[in-house]
A and B are shown apart, each in its own frame.
Chain A
Amino acid sequence: MTHTFQVRIERFDPTVDAGPELRDYAVQYHPSMTLLEALQEIQDRQDGSLAFRSSCGIAKCGSCAVTLDGRAVLACQTQLDGRDIHVGPLRNAPLVKDLIVDRERAVGHQVVTVEAEAQAPASGVALAAHQETAADYANLSRCIGCLVCDDTCPVLSARREDAFPGPAWLPTSLSSGIGVEERRAGQAFRCLLCGACAVACPSGVTTDRFLELARQRVAERDLLPQPLAALDGRIEQSHNISGEPNEGRLLWAGNLAHPPLGIGRRHAEVVYFVGCVSSLFPRSYSVAQSFVQILDRADIGYALLGEEEWCCGYPMAVSGELERAREMMRHNLEAVRATGARYLVSTCPSCYHFWKHVYPEILGEELGFTPVHSTQYLASLLENGKLPLRDGLPRQVVTYHDPCDLGRKGGEYDAPRRILARLPGVELREMPENREHSLCCGGGGNLETVDAELGGAVARTRVRQAVDTGAETIVSACQQCERTLSRSVRAERVRIRVKDIGEMVLDALE
């Protein structure tokens, strides 16, 4: 089976062109054809002036990174399926010619790291490959320095390169034998920990892990940025992120017509773990309020822990102080167990991810109940007919933003979409950057505590992507994403709404 397909390439000759121009080439397709093969074919037989890089052809040299339909990939490893494609250079590096970019920024960060290492006394090195575990070294050694991760990074894409070296910096430096001294390691606090780099990596490097490790090392040396040290102190003191008395944990429930039935219940099959943001930040109350109203309408026997709900510990882990969260995790576990619950449902993806993936590992035991995200729970309720929906709802065009902790970290992309598919009148228009390619909202990694403006720059990019779909509403499933995106929408005065998926469901109930 052969047919031709179109390869549209962004061409740019700095000696004659003002800017990139698009040129189309027809290429004969065959199964297992790679992007590099297609480019070579064009250069060999159609246009010898096309400039691109390649060397080994087997994912060892990292030379051939380009963007395919907007996404950074290794050309030699990317198999085509016969559809027309659009090929361009990497975006987060200065363009030189056609598909060739200048890599000096990334190299420059390594040089700075080398120089910082030279200044540090032996104990001042926070991370060094030879000191890491064999497993971590084995993972680091996979890095080929292709810069695909840098191109995928939302922080670098927000064009604040001066602030953050980018994800490639750590694995390339460490695997080259450069020791990262502690102050330099602090650059890792400008990462969103969104995990997009690890998903994009063609060599299987768990880049985000090394960024987390850098934070841990900095925290161990008492060098946490002051705002983060303060945050962790607050959490330890008040058992929540705001520093307000934890007795006020149910204030959000105060404005409702009927008090949530889960308050005061000592035993229930389901515990609704609200999370700090929805509990204590008024702009986010609506997430919790919507959810309990749905649960009450569906007659679900659930319990709210009230002041016995302490911060899940995730913000401390993100600051690099996972151990400090242990006491709170233990408390939370006992509090939930005391209810006899079989499910712990959370509207917060971060709490969900933390409960599901980190609690059992750190506490060294099975939970005895199953953590579930509210979207998984709602999808199930809808599919089991527990939530009758109204007819004749007005048409809404929405786009869905995958939260990092629910999607990439939590592995859940479908449940929210199954919900949206069932809501009458709702038309979903996906952003190209969806599911595991979702661009972080800018609210992750405790970045807003350290550099709110940087987070805002990332949010702007995401809002722009949403607006480009033509949708009137950005729907998400994370109160933090909703806060961050809303703030950006207001600041940019853009005509788009931000809604939580629980609110969408509530609005659609009979």
Chain B
Amino acid sequence: MRRQDTDVLVVGSGGAGLYAAIEAAATGAHVSIWDKGLVAKSGGTVGGAGLAAVGPWSVAGDGTDVHLSDTLHGGAFLNDQRLARILVEEAERRVVEMEGWGLRFDRRPDGHYVLDIAGGHTFPRLLAISDRVGLQMSKVLGRRLLGQVRIEQRSDILATRVLTRQGRAAGVMGIDLAAGEVVHMQAGAIVLATGGVGQLYPVTSNPVQCTGDGLALALGAGARLVNMEQVQFYPSGLVYPPSLRGFILGVQEYAKLYNGANERFMARYEPEVLEKTTRDRLARAIQAEIAAGRGSEHGGVCLDATTVPEETFRSFEHEYELCKKRGFDLRQVRMEVAPAAHYFMGGVEIDADGCSNVPGLLAAGEVAGGVQGGNRLSGNSLADIAVFGARAGASAARYACVAGRVAADAEQEVQEEARLLDLLRRGGGSLTAADGRQMLRELMWTGMGVVRNAGGLAATLAALDGMSADVLPRITIASTSLVHNRSMAAYLELEQMVLVAGTMARAALARRESRGAHFRDDHPVPSEAWPPSWTVVRQEGESLSVALNPLTDVQVRELSPEREP
């Protein structure tokens, strides 16, 4: 086992992790950044299209109050309003900062930024680089780590446990797949930036690394996880061809939908706006059509973008080309789509500085909860990772500077190392991790999908318990060397996925209303109680506790239903 120490350890290197590392290093702290894949290349950031931000470039009438209002309405008022206000107010600063680092947003011939409109935003306010803002961000942010003596970047390290001492985060253990050894990094502060949970579902836009690791790590350290039931299903993820399954078509914002009977079915669900409704409503409508047996050949509905103007397609260059190369010209044929797990609004409870309830443990980006409330508006995620990644990094460095490092409870280190090495020696079983993943995904799609109910959730929980008891122990570990042992990594991820899935199902059971992206057909309307509540899940000894806590510090009130987007 290799032991190292650092001031700030960042786990995950999408936009939030990168920004956290940059900000922490800027204070003079020593920073280590881990990714279980290639640094800066293994998260959802690279796929991000546009960044929503208000600034001097905004159109007349727009302002941070409007952006906040849009964000809260979009979030079904489940947002932590203070965090949401910080998001909309500090996005400008991060935009300008990244521009100074070489990020160059698209401009019109008159020099003004191209500002895209998107669902839920009152004004056009998404900055663009074709549809590559995320890719450019990850490159520009990744570059800031280069040539810096105080920043250590490590690809191929899978974090498996946050160690503590007397309730304070002290370090992280994991397996270093490149070096082929167990590693224990002692850290003054730890920032979790591990992204979302899409890979818990069979159809997802998320990269393969998005297995919810940080949520499992946080849970194990005693952190509170909020709103774990809030999964955003992007209405139109491809279901065919298989190599593009889960790939979301952004052009859906401008396209028409038809069911298997060639009916423009949105006319039944949203007669006034048809497809131009919120993503969650669209996802439920599509899911209802599929469930009612009116789906397309491969189990989706048909997306028709054939009448979308060419100029609009320029904002969707990448997806157009991708489909075209696979033999599908979006401007000529319809594509089969179904709701894809796309973004996760729940996560580690944080304060304005990214701190969780566990001292020394912070979180930023998609793994953190509360900023986006019950549903996320397009463009708000790229803003979120910049704003809160930066805050968490700065705050982690400050904490590490003041609190210093502390040795983890020795027993925890011994336990975790033994556990990992035992697993490595496990050898052949009757199942593979792929089998386990498939089982989990089917469970989640059925019981924790677009539409939930008490019976389905209870069944999901029972099945998850069954997986822990009967499936996980039977899974093969295909090699006894740790070097790029994908089989071991897949098993460890699956363990974490089962744990996280359990928290999600429990939260969904606890929220006996439909709010945000969480829809229950046995409680199909939002509760009348004001302010709305958060579900809060926490590990207490051997079991999980679930609470429903009303939001505090609610300044902006929900407006009348006519205002609902």
Given contacts A60-B318, A103-B38, contact A96 B243 (CB under 8 A): no
A216 at the interface (CB under 8 A from B): no
Neighbour of A58 across the interface among B47, B139, B432, CB < 8 A: B47
A178 at the interface (CB under 8 A from B): yes
Number of interface residues, chain A, beta carbon within 8 A: 62
Kindly specify which of B74-82, B224-232, B303-311, B320-328 makes contact with the partner chain.
B320-328
B46 at the interface (CB under 8 A from A): yes
Per-residue CB contact flags for chain B residues 467-490 toward chain A (1 = under 8 Å, else 0) read 000000000111101011111001
Assess whether A48 is in contact with B484, with CB atoms less than 8 Å apart. Answer: no
Interfacial chain A residues near B242, Cβ < 8 Å: 30, 32-33, 37
Kindly specify which of A159-167, A169-177, A258-266, A396-404 makes contact with the partner chain.
A169-177
B167 at the interface (CB under 8 A from A): no
Q: How near does chain B come to A226, taking the closest CB pair, in angstroms?
A: 30
Most-contacted residue by chain A among B43, B46, B134, B432 (CB, 10 A) = B46
Interfacial chain B residues near A130, Cβ < 8 Å: 102, 104
Per-residue CB contact flags for chain B residues 134-167 toward chain A (1 = under 8 Å, else 0) read 1110011011001100000000000000000000
Neighbour of A56 across the interface among B107, B207, B484, CB < 8 A: B207
Assess whether B135 is in contact with A141, with CB atoms less than 8 Å apart. Answer: yes
Q: How near does chain A come to B470, taking the closest CB pair, in angstroms?
A: 20
Q: How near does chain A come to B94, taking the closest CB pair, in angstroms?
A: 15
- What's the Cα separation between A12 and B325 when bound, in Å? 32
Which chain A residues (29-63) contact chain B, with CB distance < 8 Å?
A: 30-34, 36-37, 43-45, 47-63
- What's the Cα separation between A97 and B142 when bound, in Å? 25
B530 at the interface (CB under 8 A from A): no
Assess whether B104 is in contact with A137, with CB atoms less than 8 Å apart. Answer: yes
Interfacial chain B residues near A204, Cβ < 8 Å: 321
Interfacial chain B residues near A103, Cβ < 8 Å: 38
Assess whether A50 is in contact with B486, with CB atoms less than 8 Å apart. Answer: yes
- What's the Cα separation between A379 and B261 when bound, in Å? 56
B186 at the interface (CB under 8 A from A): no
B254 at the interface (CB under 8 A from A): no
Interfacial chain A residues near B434, Cβ < 8 Å: 43-45, 48
B547 at the interface (CB under 8 A from A): no
Assess whether B143 is in contact with A57, with CB atoms less than 8 Å apart. Answer: no
Assess whether A114 is in contact with B326, with CB atoms less than 8 Å apart. Answer: no
B241 at the interface (CB under 8 A from A): yes
Most-contacted residue by chain B among A31, A48, A54 (CB, 10 A) = A48
Assess whether B130 is in contact with A138, with CB atoms less than 8 Å apart. Answer: yes
Per-residue CB contact flags for chain A residues 327-369 toward chain B (1 = under 8 Å, else 0) read 0000000000000000000000000000000000000000000
Assess whether B142 is in contact with A176, with CB atoms less than 8 Å apart. Answer: yes
Assess whether A49 is in contact with B479, with CB atoms less than 8 Å apart. Answer: yes
Assess whether A59 is in contact with B322, with CB atoms less than 8 Å apart. Answer: yes
Most-contacted residue by chain B among A103, A114, A141 (CB, 10 A) = A141
- What's the Cα separation between A32 and B129 when bound, in Å? 29
B83 at the interface (CB under 8 A from A): no
Assess whether A77 is in contact with B139, with CB atoms less than 8 Å apart. Answer: no
Given contacts A57-B207, A176-B102, contact A62 B326 (CB under 8 A): no
Interface band, chain B: 35 or more
Per-residue CB contact flags for chain A residues 91-103 toward chain B (1 = under 8 Å, else 0) read 0000011101001
A491 at the interface (CB under 8 A from B): no
B208 at the interface (CB under 8 A from A): yes
Q: How near does chain B come to A194, taking the closest CB pair, in angstroms?
A: 24
Interfacial chain B residues near A142, Cβ < 8 Å: 132
- What's the Cα separation between A47 and B37 when bound, in Å? 20
A134 at the interface (CB under 8 A from B): yes
Q: How near does chain B come to A154, taking the closest CB pair, in angstroms?
A: 26
Interfacial chain B residues near A96, Cβ < 8 Å: 178, 483-484
Assess whether B42 is in contact with A55, with CB atoms less than 8 Å apart. Answer: yes
Interfacial chain A residues near B57, Cβ < 8 Å: none
A129 at the interface (CB under 8 A from B): yes
Assess whether B327 is in contact with A32, with CB atoms less than 8 Å apart. Answer: yes
Q: How near does chain A come to B443, taking the closest CB pair, in angstroms?
A: 18
Interfacial chain B residues near A47, Cβ < 8 Å: 478
Interfacial chain A residues near B481, Cβ < 8 Å: 13, 15-16
Given contacts A37-B242, A48-B490, contact A176 B484 (CB under 8 A): no
Interfacial chain B residues near A97, Cβ < 8 Å: 483-484
Most-contacted residue by chain B among A52, A56, A76, A107 (CB, 10 A) = A56
Per-residue CB contact flags for chain A residues 405-430 toward chain B (1 = under 8 Å, else 0) read 00000000000000000000000000
Per-residue CB contact flags for chain B residues 170-184 toward chain A (1 = under 8 Å, else 0) read 000000001010000
Which chain A residues (49-88) contact chain B, with CB distance < 8 Å?
A: 49-63, 76-77, 79
Neighbour of B243 across the interface among A45, A76, A128, CB < 8 A: A76
- What's the Cα separation between A144 and B476 when bound, in Å? 34
Interfacial chain A residues near B42, Cβ < 8 Å: 55, 61, 63
Per-residue CB contact flags for chain A residues 112-156 toward chain B (1 = under 8 Å, else 0) read 001100100000000011100010011001111100000000000
Q: How near does chain A come to B490, taking the closest CB pair, in angstroms?
A: 7
- What's the Cα separation between A141 and B104 when bound, in Å? 9
Interfacial chain A residues near B390, Cβ < 8 Å: none
- What's the Cα separation between A204 and B317 when bound, in Å? 12
Given contacts A130-B104, A144-B135, contact A178 B207 (CB under 8 A): no
Neighbour of A176 across the interface among B106, B140, B180, B241, CB < 8 A: B140
A388 at the interface (CB under 8 A from B): no
Interfacial chain B residues near A480, Cβ < 8 Å: none
Assess whether A63 is in contact with B146, with CB atoms less than 8 Å apart. Answer: no
A110 at the interface (CB under 8 A from B): yes
A14 at the interface (CB under 8 A from B): yes
Interfacial chain A residues near B37, Cβ < 8 Å: 53, 55, 63
Interfacial chain B residues near A107, Cβ < 8 Å: 146
Assess whether A118 is in contact with B147, with CB atoms less than 8 Å apart. Answer: yes
- What's the Cα separation between A76 and B247 when bound, in Å? 12
- What's the Cα separation between A37 and B107 when bound, in Å? 38
Q: How near does chain B come to A66, taking the closest CB pair, in angstroms?
A: 14
B103 at the interface (CB under 8 A from A): yes
A452 at the interface (CB under 8 A from B): no
Q: How near does chain A come to B289, taking the closest CB pair, in angstroms?
A: 25
Residue of A nearest to B131 (CB): A60
Given contacts A53-B37, A59-B322, A111-B146, contact A177 B484 (CB under 8 A): no
Interfacial chain B residues near A143, Cβ < 8 Å: 139
B209 at the interface (CB under 8 A from A): yes
Neighbour of B483 across the interface among A15, A32, A55, A138, CB < 8 A: A15
Assess whether A13 is in contact with B483, with CB atoms less than 8 Å apart. Answer: yes
Given contacts A15-B481, A97-B483, contact A129 B143 (CB under 8 A): no
- What's the Cα separation between A114 and B144 when bound, in Å? 9
Assess whether A98 is in contact with B47, with CB atoms less than 8 Å apart. Answer: no
Neighbour of A177 across the interface among B103, B135, B478, CB < 8 A: B103
Binding site for A on B (CB under 8 A): 37-38, 41-43, 46-47, 101-104, 106-107, 129-130, 132, 134-136, 139-140, 142-143, 146-147, 178, 180, 207-209, 241-244, 246-247, 318, 321-322, 325-327, 432-434, 476-479, 481, 483-487, 490
**What would be 16 A-B contacts, judged by CB atoms less than 8 Å apart?**
A16-B481, A32-B326, A48-B478, A48-B486, A54-B208, A56-B207, A57-B247, A58-B318, A60-B134, A60-B318, A77-B322, A96-B483, A134-B106, A138-B129, A141-B135, A177-B103
